[in-house]
A and B are shown apart, each in its own frame.
Chain A
Amino acid sequence: MTALADPWVTTAEELERRTGPRWALSDSLVMTARLLRQIPRIPELLIFSTVQPIMFVVLFVYVFGGAIRTPGDVPYVQFLLPGIFVQTVAFGGAATGIGLADDLQKGLVDRFRSLPMARSALLLGRTMSDVVRNALTVVIMVVVGVLTGFRFHGSVQGVAAGLALLLLFEFALSWIGVLIGLSVKSVEAAQSGGFIWLFPLTFASSAFVPVDGMPGWLRGFATHQPVTVTVNALRGWFNGEPIGSDGWQALGWIAAVLVVAIPVAVRRYRRMTR
């Protein structure tokens, strides 16, 4: 092997010993780095994931806004933007499934599964890199919000807490996206099936209109579901108002989703090896 002679020769025996949490973390980071590199190389993805929420901002602020009465008569743009942020990361999170389905379809996953890497790394890399991707989208949406008149009135800590909750919410939905991606395994199916459930979840919530105006049977669901409590907590923090138990409820939902979805997803992925 003269052509390949080089000073580093790690033997297979040594590679076999490189297991455990440290290497599992390294694998996840390698996978995250791979996906972060893709972001600037596929700018369409970032653009398309912001076009829809921008349209929503424009439509709601300028078309429906005038007809919607907000509690306490806060300006509608202050009421709407936290809802838009949550809706944006909800769709952004569910999109994790599309990327995963793409890997599965291309056979790239076959390579990954033939490597001595941690089984969880592909899924963790996807969900972690999508947190960064969605953070970029949130930055763009904050700029759009400010251009349409939205302002942060809360404390710095409050705003920081709100943004952190937003990204945690995205991370949790990402894992639901992973489950969908692992189940459908084709990009097309992930695209159509991955988002439908988000429409009732985001619209039957306090994201765009106060839930008080909804009929009784819907109000019960709309008041307690994860999008509503997350939006309410964000509104409180961003507008400098008390948030009550909404923050805890939102964290509770996020924890519940993660506790269920992560083990199920990792097990599903492992099972595919068989």
Chain B
Amino acid sequence: MDDAIVVESLVKTFKATKALDGIDLTVPPGTVLGLLGPNGAGKTTCVRILATLLRPDAGRAWVTGLDVLREPQRVRARIGLTGQYAAVDDYLTGQENLEMVGRLYHLRPAEARGRAVALLDRFELSDASGRVVKTYSGGMRRRLDIAAALIARPRVLFLDEPTTGLDPRSRIGMWELIEGLVRDGTTILLTTQYLDEADRLASTIAVIDIGKVIASGTARELKSQVGGERLEVTVAGASELDAAVSALAPFAAGEPVVDVPTLHVTVPVSKGAGILPEVVRDLDAAGVTLEDLALRHPTLDDVFLALTGHAAEEKPADGAAPAEKGRRGRRKEPK
């Protein structure tokens, strides 16, 4: 069992909702697995099981070779967890927060202190280390949260939607920070709703939907399934839709999707921006009046559309924010 994380047919049901419906995952050491999916897909439930916070109804899981269900306390000494909401104490300073978590990992006081200073420095929080966390910005809290997860040098790090709710600048800062951890050789399981984030950070991506892995592979492999960039054309009237589809056919790398109410035609393309002048000429020649024309990178929606035929919308059965749902489910479940 050399893999850092192994998950075998995990099943977890909350009341009527099947949060996990037989998930299998393997993460080799030193790599990053991106768990990609919409709200309610089961990402958080999966992380909570691996972090020993939740017991599955069926299936097994190992972290660094240790059975998560049989030896949770040993697993806890080897992992670091950051949830969707920064789990730091508002009334302690940054330094005090990290020292406290270090001591709770059972580091000796001097080591906890030294590690806290080093991590605060690394995450550019040294200036704020003596301030209570209440005064921190959202981005600073997240950085402190990740620092807390790293205090005992865990072999496996779980990052549950590390950039959700961050402004664009903090988001890029967080990406750079995570890339630094990857360079250091930390094994990371990262959940995200954003394809660009998974693309940038993960060595392998597993797309999950309604508790199942529906696709996995490298970002490149997934994109080739999705068909790279998409050309989105908006026409002036419904009567022009057919003409637009025929005119776009030579450029299409896949099936066009026509949305009649919004007068959109979307086609996957493989060539990029260079084809745009030609596209405009051909549409014009076909008598199509262009309202809008856009070339965009595939999103989670496109991945879902390509893989499942439906958009990545929140499922009505478990539409609430996954953390909330997981939490409620966990507390009400007697076991």
Contact = CB atoms under 8 A, between A and B. Distances in A.
B87 interface: yes
B58 interface: no
Interface in A97-135: 106-108, 110-117, 121
B51 interface: yes
Interface in B86-117: 87-89, 91-92, 96, 100-101, 103-108, 110-111, 114-115
A109 B96 CA distance: 17
Contact of A274 (B89, B148, B155, B335): B335
B70 interface: no
B271 interface: no
Nearest to A33: B100
Given A27-B104, A185-B331, A115 B76 contact: yes
Given A30-B100, A116-B76, A274 B153 contact: no
A10 B107 contact: yes
B59 to A, nearest CB: 15
A212 B96 CA distance: 54
Nearest to A182: B331
B297 interface: no
Contacts of B30: none
B168 interface: no
Contact of A6 (B48, B64, B83, B118): B118
A270 B64 CA distance: 24
A114 B51 contact: yes
Given A108-B88, A114-B52, A34 B81 contact: no
Given A16-B74, A111-B87, A273 B53 contact: yes
A186 to B, nearest CB: 11
Contacts of A110: 48, 53, 81, 83, 87
B156 to A, nearest CB: 10
Given A6-B114, A185-B331, 10 more contacts: A7-B114, A15-B105, A15-B106, A16-B78, A19-B73, A23-B106, A26-B103, A31-B104, A114-B52, A115-B101
24 contacts: A1-B184, A4-B122, A6-B114, A8-B107, A8-B115, A10-B111, A12-B78, A12-B153, A15-B105, A15-B106, A26-B106, A27-B103, A34-B100, A38-B91, A106-B85, A108-B87, A110-B83, A110-B87, A111-B148, A116-B74, A116-B76, A117-B106, A271-B335, A272-B330
